[in-house]
Structure 1
Amino acid sequence: MAALKERLRADLTAAMRAKDDVRKATLRMVLTSIGNEEVAGSAARELTDDEVTALLTREVKRRREAAEAFRTGGRTDSAANEEAEAAVIAEYLPQPLTDDELDAIVTAAIAEAGAESPRDMGKVMKLVQPRVLGRVEGSKVAAAVKAKLA
């Protein structure tokens, strides 16, 4: 079983004992998403830690986008709730990359792929994505690659 999934389950139990409603609800939602992902598709299987990390990254992004939408709509209470959920989920993600670290990874991937123009962006992204999984948003990675190849 994935270590990250076990950690989520253990923390859910601790949140239930501590009567931490936000953490409890958020962890239940995350574990449900993991379960749904595991049974989706043709063959039921258990997710790896990398797949769980990718799912957590998506969930954080959804919460931040929802918070922004609520804030735009004038619903600050709902926005605050979404941000609190995003903060709980973010605790389970690896430490985010700094801009310098991302720049170094992109530069190394460009050299490895032999990329010379923006047409080679796909080759570079295939090399970069596994190295930065869960540590930086895909849009930021794409922007960094595009800037280097321009």
Structure 2
Amino acid sequence: MTVRLRGHHLLCLLTFVGEGYTPSFTRNYVEIAKRLSAGEAVTVVDGPDDICAPMLCDAGAHCRDESITRRDSLALASVSDILDRQIVPGSVLVLDADRLRRLRSAFVEGKTAAACAECEWAGLCSRVAGGGFTDVLVHAAEDLCLLREEV
């Protein structure tokens, strides 16, 4: 089984600390973070994904807005450049320690800024990145083993 993610959620997950639009959205996202941290693969999709699912019944959900679709395209271009691999809908990847490190470093360096422009969560994401990503909920499975050994 894989987690279905749209383009910009490949960036959002880098700084996810358990905050979201609604309690059901946040609970769902926390469960997805656990799956990703356990090493479950990602399948990139075009449009609403597993993270969007709790919002899709809301008439005001922005998941299908043109601005979000544009954000997905910008994010996929950024992620492709960072990972040196074309990432498009249908691509499958595992967010291992190296990929997460590369993506987070690029986020800090501003290489994903175009995809994050106009996002209401940009301030929170910048604070999380500025704090060294210490409270994020998505970790590579091998990182979790190291964290357990350090405790």
Whether these two folds match at TM > 0.5 is: no
* Higher relative contact order, structure no. (Cα contacts within 8 Å, ≥ 6 residues apart): 2
The structure in which a higher percent of residues are helix is 1
TM-score by length of structure 2 reads: 0.29
What's the TM-score once normalised by structure 1's chain length? Answer: 0.29
Q: Which one has the largest radius of gyration?
A: 1
